[in-house]
Amino acid sequence: MESEEIILALAALAQSTRLEVFRLLVGREPEGMPAGEIARELAVPANTMSAHLSVLARAGLIRSERRSRSIIYRADLDRFRAVATFLLKDCCGGRPEVCAPLIADLTPCCSPKEPARG
């Protein structure tokens, strides 16, 4: 994963509407959500939302697929994880003390080996 892609992803999420969209789509995995419904849910005009969706898609954070008249958007969780991993490893590389508490913090929610619960 290139630095350029990371910047694209960070920029895509660094905007309130788009961050909300991404959150919304993560919550709707794996079914996804049509563009119009996303716009309605967040009370944003359809064309404005279309521009935001395009930014998120160009950053690789969401994917679209036409289904009949609707275009269904889905969060790309693998990509999101890749971005987070890059960002953390980039700093964690020489600095385990950065990630150690983060792992500790995240582990109760979802540990690697076992299917997690709350």
Closest distance to DNA from the beta carbon of 81 (Å): 23
Q: Which does 117 bind (CB under 5 to 8 A by kind): a second copy, DNA, none?
A: a second copy
**Binding region for DNA (CB under 7 A) out of 22-30, 40-48, 80-88, 94-102:** 40-48
Closest distance to a second copy from the beta carbon of 47 (Å): 23
- How many Å apart are CA 61 and CA 49, to the nearest integer? 15
Q: Which does 94 bind (CB under 5 to 8 A by kind): DNA, a second copy, none?
A: a second copy
43 scored as a contact of a second copy (CB under 8 A): no
Of 28 and 37, the one with the shorter C-beta distance to a second copy is 28
List strand residue ranges (DSSP E) for the chain, in order. 33-34, 62-67, 70-75
28 scored as a contact of DNA (CB under 7 A): no
CB 39 within 8 A of CB 83: no
- The contacts found for 39-45 with CB under 8 angstroms, 24 or more apart, are 42/17, 44/17
Closest distance to a second copy from the beta carbon of 41 (Å): 17
- How many Å apart are CA 118 and CA 77, to the nearest integer? 20
